[in-house]
A and B are shown apart, each in its own frame.
Chain A
Amino acid sequence: MKVDLRINGANHSADIEPRKTLLDALRENFLLNGTHAGCEHGVCGACTVLVDGEPVRSCLMFAVQADGYEITTIEGLAPAPGELSVIQDAFCETHGLQCGYCTPGMILSAHALLQHTVTPTRDDIVEAISGNICRCTGYGQIIEAVEFAAARLRIANTPRPHHGGPHGRAEGKPIVEAK
């Protein structure tokens, strides 16, 4: 079946069997191997990608269902080749990863959260990454990384959408000016 996908801002086409998940299509058809295959049945969150800016599990979606959406993978976050996004950099600085298998999913979940608020509470962060399993860190440094990234984004003075979004924070906390 011919499928047209928009991935990281670029249009792609491929002939894909209906039973192929978006995860497998990203890795095999488009060679975007940053999206990791973990459990492949919706439990671990390693395959998380953003669909229209919101985190979803790419193993629970078929590629044929994904046309017409903006799909963002971990490869789409870096501002330029060889550079890291603020959140990626924060994960490095706070040792928010060890083996790195869960990291792309964690970072994309954190990215979606910080698109909606840069003043997340610890509970907001825990909720945002609650669908992502990490077997190395014990999560403490991952939460620290997201808090650190949020703090950096607060002082970065870059405009960010803060609409409630389909997945906006329930409390609708506004983005505050840098202290």
Chain B
Amino acid sequence: MKPAPFDYVRPDTLAEVCALLAGDEDARVIAGGQTLVPMLAMRLARPAKLIDILRLPELAGIREEAGRVIVGATTRQAKAERDPVIGASVPMLARVLPWVGHPPTRNRGTVGGSIANADPSAEIPLVAVTLGADILLATTDGPTSMPADDFFIGPMLTTIGQGECVSAIRFPVWPHQRIGVGFFEISARRSDFAFVAAAAQVALDDAGRCLEVALGVGGVGDRPLRLDVSSLVGTELDATSVAAAVNAAAGELDATSDLHASAAYRRRVASVLCIRALEQARVDASAKSRKGAR
């Protein structure tokens, strides 16, 4: 047995989970365990208690309400990948999920687990920040929420406090008819950690002009970042405008330098992938019918 000993509990309610977490600073939540169990096996983490939330009915499921899609924290990545609501209303999430790990890890790994783990190169946190999602939290004082941009504060670091547990992620749904998404990432091998990832979503009007745009990069710095390319609204997302907007927004990114890639490489690749992602999103949106439903 590789992990250090721990107690295992599987509470029946979310309130119990929060109470257990509040009462024991050495307790950790486990859901899919696809990142936590390797850390336990290598003894990089040695929690005294594991609180299993995977089967809590309160945390499962995907629903659309009031123009937003709420994805329960323990929704398996494999399930989200094929969910029709996510495919139709949060296409960026559907696009990136095949890049998260491998099929066997997506069968166990959860959407909320990836958020709580806050790996700077992870795709799901990138989508949450880029689209401006809210992270819903269960706490001992009841439910609360926080914008994704405020939730991630560093590598594997979030603002989550003791006694709190991610309960769901609330993604905004754009009201427009013609929406397209683009995504690119560079890694050593498919499904390895991305050195750089870029995700874009655009909405076009009937004439092909940009109504709304969201662009984000992951893997570049110590957390996913949304880039301000609002100057593209009103343009036809032509190559010149896109290059100018991306270079203005991504030129000075605070990038990490490590064994795999230098900061200069990450900045250069980020600009290139942002331009490609915006172009892919524009082409995707252009292919959508001008009148019909998405």
> In the complex, what residues of B have CB within 8 A of residue A167's CB?
78, 82, 103, 106-107
- Contact check, B107 vs A166: say whether CB atoms are below 8 A apart: yes
1/0 contact trace for A29-49 toward B, CB 8 Å?
000000000001111010010
Which single member of A1, A19, A54 contacts B3 (CB below 8 Å)? A19
- Contact check, A18 vs B7: say whether CB atoms are below 8 A apart: yes
- Contact check, A130 vs B191: say whether CB atoms are below 8 A apart: yes
Binds A, one of B13-21, B34-42, B61-69: B34-42
Min distance, Cβ A90 to any Cβ of chain B, angstroms: 20
Which single member of B79, B81, B104, B106 contacts A45 (CB below 8 Å)? B104
- Contact check, B107 vs A56: say whether CB atoms are below 8 A apart: yes
Cα distance A13–B136 when bound, in Å?
Answer: 38
Cα distance A17–B82 when bound, in Å?
Answer: 35
- Contact check, B5 vs A57: say whether CB atoms are below 8 A apart: no
- Contact check, B42 vs A60: say whether CB atoms are below 8 A apart: no
- Contact check, A20 vs B37: say whether CB atoms are below 8 A apart: no
Knowing A61-B108, A166-B76, say if A130 contacts B102 (CB, 8 Å).
yes
Looking at chain B, what size class is its interface with the partner chain?
35 or more
- Contact check, B54 vs A51: say whether CB atoms are below 8 A apart: no
1/0 contact trace for B25-36 toward A, CB 8 Å?
000001001100
> In the complex, what residues of B have CB within 8 A of residue A64's CB?
8
Cα distance A103–B120 when bound, in Å?
Answer: 34
> In the complex, what residues of A have CB within 8 A of residue B76's CB?
166
Closest to B97 in A: A170
Judge if B248 is at the interface, Cβ distance under 8 Å: no
- Contact check, A61 vs B78: say whether CB atoms are below 8 A apart: no
Which single member of B3, B54, B103 contacts A109 (CB below 8 Å)? B103
- Contact check, A130 vs B190: say whether CB atoms are below 8 A apart: yes
Closest to A127 in B: B103
- Contact check, B5 vs A17: say whether CB atoms are below 8 A apart: yes
Judge if B188 is at the interface, Cβ distance under 8 Å: no
Cα distance A80–B79 when bound, in Å?
Answer: 33
- Contact check, A51 vs B107: say whether CB atoms are below 8 A apart: yes
Min distance, Cβ A67 to any Cβ of chain B, angstroms: 10
- Contact check, A20 vs B1: say whether CB atoms are below 8 A apart: yes
Residue among A1, A43, A45, A56 with the most chain B CB within 10 A?
A56
Judge if A147 is at the interface, Cβ distance under 8 Å: no
> In the complex, what residues of A have CB within 8 A of residue B6's CB?
18-19
- Contact check, B108 vs A60: say whether CB atoms are below 8 A apart: yes
Which residues of chain B from 96 to 121 have any CB-CB distance to chain A below 8 Å in the complex?
98, 101-108
- Contact check, A60 vs B105: say whether CB atoms are below 8 A apart: yes
Cα distance A1–B190 when bound, in Å?
Answer: 39
> In the complex, what residues of A have CB within 8 A of residue B107's CB?
51, 54-56, 166-167
- Contact check, A61 vs B33: say whether CB atoms are below 8 A apart: yes
Judge if B2 is at the interface, Cβ distance under 8 Å: yes
Knowing A57-B105, A130-B103, say if A19 contacts B1 (CB, 8 Å).
yes
Cα distance A109–B177 when bound, in Å?
Answer: 39
Cα distance A65–B40 when bound, in Å?
Answer: 15
Closest to A167 in B: B78
Which single member of B7, B41, B52, B191 contacts A41 (CB below 8 Å)? B41
Knowing A41-B42, A59-B37, A59-B41, say if A18 contacts B81 (CB, 8 Å).
no
Chain A residues with a Cβ under 8 A of chain B: 1, 17-21, 24, 40-43, 45, 48, 51, 54-57, 59-62, 64-65, 109, 127-128, 130-131, 164, 166-168, 170
